[in-house]
């Protein structure tokens, strides 16, 4: 008999009475895979998570991207412990902030100056405000299925958790109602060209994830980002790269280095905080001179540039700057991806795997996935079966067909081998409809065991 997740169920019942859906961020809910109690995590170390029932999982969520060295990396843990003893928050600039800003600028030279905040949503909000102020125009172009945080302007045809729980256009926002946000298909320059032709003088900026990550991983088509940049330039609009996932994830110099296209403004988050909340936006010095207190674009935060987050970020970047780190991440992800594809073929399960470095998405579809529309063609039911089959075998994925698998330096051969063993059976499960009428929730409740169950 398998080990259950009874404690997670109890915790879910207690939490859902207090927090809508039982989760502090909708992406964590199991609604995208048919519902049920999410797994409550009590500990994370290296490539592993442990749940409230003591089940162990190989983790491919990695906090939705921030964790790149592995959970609880000693260098990060020590840096944070040292920082907390010197003051968790001081309400004044700290030398460590300067050091991190410098490290970021050295890695990403287009970020000539920058401004720290706490979350990716804040960073994007600030960058858009700056783009509007700099151009004197209201309009923002984003792409369908992209996710840029929960601020008003960008909750239009949003991907990630918003798409997963069916709220791509949030209620209660002003941005969409004002008609200032245009959501266009990713990887297609024609609609953008047409929009600029018709309304070019109203567009402040084009906001783009250079490698899309929130409709699943979707790399840019050759020439797409260059085309975005050239069209924007021709019409006096700015280009804002949302590198909140890709910054320090796909390369030390972010996607803009990997792809050779330079934006006017860049947003960072996730990895720069080393697992603690930290984000930044920055770019051309002339634009950044508009930010308060030098200029009229106001943004602020009690915890902006928080010393603990800055310490974790600096420690993380120090490890990532070592030679060969990104090759190791790439090699391991390539190995895992190739074997997953082979196992899917063996099981007769049609999949498309889109990968960039240490992040990839496995779409349950037989056609290429190049934008949000093609991502939506993937079989959600098959993904749900695959998801639960892996979960029951000790592999933790995001509960959504639109998210990525993230690897860390802590994902070593043993973790990949165990994951592939689990995937062999999970692909069989994915390929077969369940003919019983069991709700996924009940399947979780009496689920088979995670392979490793002891708490270490």
| 76: helix, strand or coil | helix
Q: What is the DSSP letter of 69?
A: S
Residue 113 Cα distances to 100, 140, 162, 266, angstroms: 12, 22, 31, 10
Q: Using the rule CB under 6 A, is 156 a contact of ligand PLP?
A: no
Q: Which is nearer to ligand PLP, 63 or 431 (CB)?
A: 63
The answer to whether residue 270 is catalytic is: yes
Question: Per-residue DSSP letters for 4-70?
Answer: --HHHHHHHHHHHTTSGGG-SSGGGSSGGGT--PPPPEEEEEBTEEEETTS-EEEES-GGGTT--S-
Q: Using the rule CB under 6 A, is 124 a contact of ligand PLP?
A: yes
Piece of 237-245, 251-259, 342-350, 403-411 that binds ligand PLP (CB under 6 A): 237-245
Q: Using the rule CB under 6 A, is 148 a contact of ligand PLP?
A: yes
Among 55, 119, 365, 370, binds ligand PLP (CB under 6 A): 119
Bridge partners for 240 per DSSP: 207, 265
Q: Is 133 exposed, middle or buried (0-12, 13-18, 19+ CB in 10 A)?
A: middle
Q: How many residues bind ligand PLP (CB under 6 A)?
A: 17
The answer to whether residue 51 is catalytic is: no
Q: Which is nearer to ligand PLP, 9 or 157 (CB)?
A: 157
Spatial neighbors of 315 by CB under 8 A, at least 6 apart, are 73, 75, 76, 78, 79, 80, 274
Piece of 120-128, 325-333, 340-348, 414-422 that binds ligand PLP (CB under 6 A): 120-128
Q: Which of 51, 53, 152, 242 is catalytic?
A: 242
Q: Which is nearer to ligand PLP, 22 or 65 (CB)?
A: 65
Report the nearest approach of ligand PLP to the CB of residue 26 (Å).
Answer: 11
Q: Using the rule CB under 6 A, is 116 a contact of ligand PLP?
A: no
Q: Using the rule CB under 6 A, is 147 a contact of ligand PLP?
A: yes
Name which of residues 30 to 89 contact ligand PLP (CB under 6 A): 64
By Cβ distance, which residue is nearest to ligand PLP?
A: 120
Instruction: Please give the Cα distance from 123 to 280 (Å, whole number).
Output: 5
The answer to whether residue 142 is catalytic is: no
Instruction: Please give the Cα distance from 341 to 337 (Å, whole number).
Output: 6
The kind and range of the H/E element at 255 are helix 254-259
Angle at 231 between CA 283 and CA 159, to 5 degrees: 70
Q: Which of 57, 270, 372, 392 is catalytic?
A: 270
Report the nearest approach of ligand PLP to the CB of residue 154 (Å).
Answer: 8
Piece of 69-77, 78-86, 174-182, 242-250 that binds ligand PLP (CB under 6 A): 242-250
Q: Using the rule CB under 6 A, is 392 a contact of ligand PLP?
A: no
SS3 sequence of 94-121: CHHHHHHHHHHHHHCCCCCEEEEECCHH
Catalytic residues: 147, 242, 270
Residues of this chain that bind ligand PLP (CB under 6 A): 64, 119-121, 124, 147-149, 160, 209, 213-214, 242, 244-245, 269, 279
């Amino acid at each position: 008999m398998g080990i259950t997740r009874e404690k997670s169920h109890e915790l879910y019942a207690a939490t859902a009475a207090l927090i809508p859906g039982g989760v502090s961020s909708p992406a964590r809910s199991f609604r995208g895979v048919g519902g049920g109690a999410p797994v409550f995590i009590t500990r994370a170390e290296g490539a592993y998570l442990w749940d409230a029932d003591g089940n162990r999982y190989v983790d491919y969520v990695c906090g939705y991207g921030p964790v790149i060295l592995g959970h609880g990396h000693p260098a990060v843990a020590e840096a944070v412990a040292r920082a907390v003893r010197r003051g968790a928050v001081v309400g004044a600039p700290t030398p460590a902030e300067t050091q991190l800003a410098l490290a970021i600028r050295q890695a990403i030279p287009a970020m000539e100056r920058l401004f720290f905040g706490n979350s990716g949503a804040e960073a994007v909000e600030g960058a858009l405000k700056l783009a509007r102020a700099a151009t004197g125009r209201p309009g923002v172009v984003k792409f369908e299925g992209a996710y840029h945080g929960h601020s008003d302007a960008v909750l239009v045809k949003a991907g990630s958790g918003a798409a997963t729980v069916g709220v791509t256009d949030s209620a209660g926002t002003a941005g969409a109602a004002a008609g200032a946000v245009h959501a266009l298909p990713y990887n297609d320059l024609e609609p953008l060209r047409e929009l600029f032709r018709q309304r070019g003088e109203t567009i402040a900026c084009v906001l783009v994830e250079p490698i899309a990550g929130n409709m699943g991983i979707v790399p840019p088509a050759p020439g797409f980002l260059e085309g975005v940049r050239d069209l924007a330039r021709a019409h006096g609009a700015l280009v804002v790269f949302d590198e909140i996932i890709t910054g320090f994830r796909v390369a030390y110099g972010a996607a803009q280095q990997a792809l050779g296209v330079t934006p006017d403004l860049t947003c960072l988050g996730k990895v720069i905080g080393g697992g603690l909340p930290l984000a930044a936006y920055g770019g051309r010095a002339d634009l950044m001179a508009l930010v308060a207190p030098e200029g009229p674009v106001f943004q602020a935060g009690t915890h902006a540039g928080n010393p603990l987050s800055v310490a974790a970020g600096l420690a993380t970047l120090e490890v990532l700057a070592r030679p060969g780190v990104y090759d190791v991440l790439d090699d391991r992800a390539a190995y895992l991806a190739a074997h997953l594809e082979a196992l899917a073929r063996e099981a007769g399960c049609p999949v498309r795997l889109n990968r960039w470095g240490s992040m990839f998405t496995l779409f349950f579809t037989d056609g290429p996935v190049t934008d949000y529309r093609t991502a939506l063609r993937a079989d959600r039911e098959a993904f749900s079966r695959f998801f639960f089959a892996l979960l029951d075998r000790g592999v933790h994925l995001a509960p959504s067909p639109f998210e990525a698998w993230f690897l860390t330096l802590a994902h070593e051969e043993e973790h990949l081998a165990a994951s592939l063993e689990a995937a062999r059976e999970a692909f069989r499960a994915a390929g077969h409809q369940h003919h019983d009428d069991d709700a996924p929730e009940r399947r979780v409740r009496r689920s088979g065991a995670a392979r490793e169950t002891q708490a270490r």
